[in-house]
Structure 1
Amino acid sequence: RRIGFIGDQPRIHTAGERLRGYRTAMAEAGLAVDESWVSLGSTAPDRVRFAATAMLDGPRPVTALFAGNNRVTVTAVRVLAERPRPVALVGFDDFELADLVSPAITVVAQDAARLGRTAATMLFRRLDGAGIPPQREEIPTRLVPRGSGELPPPADG
């Protein structure tokens, strides 16, 4: 019920969209969002570690984390590995070895090949002088449950 969100720079469109999705999902689940559970900024490990630690050690610590991209997820895995109590984790973007850590990391995966093909098609149309205005294309994602996001909160959490 206390789910933290750590994302990328707020000026990046996809980072803002992922934050919006987090807020929408929390609202639809009837869960409040404490602003101390939201952190946007650099994906540098030191910044992410600081944000995760603050959320996990705060007066109302989070019982789960949602990482806004794979760089954030990798740092979150390292932070959580140092903790005595399990904390649920779901990452956005799959990454190599996500299935080999314990528990394996649950992710929201993108179809990278489709994303690349779509971007290339749009670019080549523009380069060919197709005077089309900028357009937005949304590529569906899929949840890949592997265990980390399915951890129950602690009995006292």
Structure 2
Amino acid sequence: GSAHHIGPAHRRIGFIADHPGIHTAGERLRGYRTAMADAGLAIDDGWVSLGTTAPRRVQEAVVAMLGAPEPVTAIFTGNNRVTVTVVRVLAAHHRPVALVGFDDIELADLLAPGLTVVAQDAATLGRTAAERLFHRLDGAADAPSQVVLATRLIARGSGEIPPPADG
């Protein structure tokens, strides 16, 4: 699970993502919950924030998670729009917070530290969707099916930031 990609010392890991009704957001939330459970970590209600990817909403979620009595020391984001806002908020934060984003973003390697992401293969995703579309256009009437494509972790430093010694 994705929470396992964040350094093992982290015990308070937040998850910020899109609306749970969006299939991928729901799946990523399920992955976060499973990874936390597998690691033996409880999840505080304040560590999960789902909703619009609007910067103001995401910023408020990050500020709330970092300002809690026991603040998160790491954040996992559910898509690249959320990630960009979280990077901006963390840039102004007074202590380092580990961050792993779902979906790679342009310039991720130029940030300091570089942004650790769970990347999708966009070319394979597009090719697979096109092949399925053309198959249908050719008259195929197969039952709907689900295709799951592999992702890969690109560790660049942000997800490997350790929690503070007192946290």
Matched, 1:118 2:107: no
Matched, 1:36 2:46: yes
Matched, 1:59 2:92: no
Q: Deviations over 1:106-132 (max 9, x none)?
A: 000001110111111111111222001
- In 2, distance between residues paired with 1:59 and 1:127? 56
- In 2, distance between residues paired with 1:101 and 1:125? 42
**Normalising by structure 1, what TM-score?**
0.98
Matched, 1:139 2:158: no
Matches within 5 A, 1:7-18: 7-18=17-28
The residue number in structure 1 matching 2:161 is 151
- In 1, distance between residues paired with 2:94 and 2:70? 17
Matched, 1:98 2:108: yes
The residue number in structure 2 matching 1:108 is 118
- Bigger relative contact order, structure 1 or 2, given CA contacts below 8 A and separation 6+? 2
3-state SS, counterpart of residue 114 of structure 1: helix
The range that moved more, 18-27 or 126-135, is 126-135
The residue number in structure 1 matching 2:6 is none
Q: Deviations over 1:59-95 (max 9, x none)?
A: 2210000000011110000000001100000000001
3-state SS, counterpart of residue 99 of structure 1: helix
- Counterpart amino acid of 1:115? L
- Over the aligned positions, Cα root-mean-square deviation in angstroms equals 0.6
The list of structure 1 runs, each at least 4 consecutive aligned residues, that deviate by more than 4 angstroms after superposition, is none
- In 2, distance between residues paired with 1:35 and 1:125? 44
3-state SS, counterpart of residue 159 of structure 2: helix
Gaps of 5+ in 2: 1-10
